[in-house]
Amino acid sequence: DFGWMMTIGLSLALVLAFMVIPAGMIMLGKGRGSIKEDNSAKLTAVFSRLTERHGNLILVAAVVLGVVALYGITLLKVENRFIDYFKPHTEIYQGLSVIDSRLGGTTPLDIVITAPDFSQLPTVLGQVEGEKEISWEDGDEYGDGNDPFAESVAEADPYGNGDPFAEEDPFADSDPFAEDDPFAEPDPNQQQNSYWFSRAGLEDLEKIHAYLDELPEIGRIDSLVTAFHVANDLTGRRLNDLELTFMRRSLSPELSDFMLRPYLNDEANEARITMRTVEGDGSLNRKELLAEIESFLINEMGMEPEQFRLSGLQVLYNNMLQSLFRSQIMTLGAVFLGIMLMFLVLFRSLSISFIAILPNMLAASIVLGSMGLAGIPLDMMTITIAAITVGIGVDHAIHYLTRFKREFAVDQNYIAAMHRAHASIGLALFYTAITIIIGFSILAFSNFMPSVYFGLLTALAMSAALLGSLTLLPKLILVFKPLGDGA
């Protein structure tokens, strides 16, 4: 949307510049001539004399700035906190601080864990670790299965094949408590569905819960462990599997929906741990936090990567920030390639195209490098500044090179053509840049920090583009002489 708005705005500006403004000037007529001396060209003459006398110093400074800018770009980060969007004295900042410090954090993060393979797990009432399994084969002379009484007992037992009166119970179908009997025969699928509500599953969740509780970036944490701790506090001891099963079946639907359903999915055999991150914590780094949690689940808990997943607004926001960095690199690369092709079509010279694009690349690098050195993260606002820098720099380069070619055609003298170009089109570039710099600097008074960064960095971008067009660009022309031999 921002790109479409800029495109429409520039199209309207083009129409105004070539149709409305000339028509207005014709209607106003010719004004009275001014008898005052025009000294405005002296402003840009400073840059032309600097380029002529200290051109080598300009090249050295450009190389140094480029190296420093590249180092700053390596420090760029996309991590930022929503609370940092506002100044500390604003109500929004103070409100978010209260939410973080007293209400357990702001941005939600969930961990959804699938139960392990139950074919490798002990049964709910299985063997205790270290307990020897009882076998008829240990010291039993009939352990080989040759029990001499087995067949005779089976023949003598009239109920060996079941109770003959079981189906004739007249109250079997009308007993309202038959299905709710906690001591009834367990469902063969109950073990899998109830793993996370067993001691084994809850102890796994407890370890994860305790680890997350130690992280300073994590605020409030809720899971099945919360209900488990409440039950333990009420009974004064840790519940076993049988008591946990009885407790779950005894809960009312309302309590079950409140305490269990948000954190347990029997159908998918999943448990959910939900938490909120503290945005006001100075050490918050979303990418590192998510990677640290994943590392703990894999290395410490022994889980497979496909056994769990992280979700929630925290993950979505982190993915968006990471995509900003990738899109910044890809977008700038595509933009510079497109500008290079445009220069080739416009000037029909590869050398002029390279000379024209170098100051633009330096200006964009200076802005991004300054952000990295100052610790300003890339976000939805600052991501557009590099593109604006390139756009303005391209304007300046096209204007200056077009004028320089006309001035060079007069006497084939590079130095004289540079001075005349500075005195004419250079003055227009200077006034345009100063106007934009002052206009964007107004944003520095905003309470919304992205607007402050946007205004100040755009002003820096305009300054870098202006200096590059009035110093580095003409010096490169003087060094490489792309228009042919001349004085």
Per-residue confidence (pLDDT) for residue 478, from 0 to 100: 94
Say what the pLDDT of residue 188 is: 44
pLDDT value of residue 128: 40
Amino acid, res. 122 = P
Supply the pLDDT for residue 438: 93
- Domains of the chain as residue ranges with CATH: 42-79+318-480 (1.20.1640.10), 91-118+189-284 (no CATH)
User: pLDDT at position 312, please?
Assistant: 92
Handedness of CA 188, 189, 192, 193 (dihedral sign): negative
What pLDDT is attached to residue 118? 55
Q: Which of 392, 398, 309 is nearest to 345 (CA)?
A: 398
Contact 281, 233 (CB under 8 A): no
**pLDDT tens digits in sequence order for the chain, 487 residues long:** 777 887 898 889 888 888 888 888 888 877 665 556 556 678 889 999 999 999 999 999 999 999 999 999 999 887 777 888 888 888 988 998 898 888 888 899 999 999 886 555 444 434 444 444 444 344 444 445 455 544 444 444 554 555 555 555 555 455 554 444 544 454 444 434 468 888 889 999 999 999 999 999 999 999 999 888 888 888 888 888 888 888 888 888 888 888 888 999 888 889 999 999 998 777 788 889 999 999 999 999 999 999 999 999 999 988 888 887 777 777 778 888 888 999 999 988 999 999 999 998 999 899 989 999 998 888 777 777 777 777 777 888 999 999 999 999 999 999 999 999 999 999 999 999 999 899 999 999 988 888 898 889 889 988 999 999 999 999 999 999 998 876 6
Contacts of residue 369, Cβ cutoff 8 Å, sequence gap at least 6:
68, 69, 70, 71, 72, 73
User: What was the pLDDT predicted at 164?
Assistant: 53
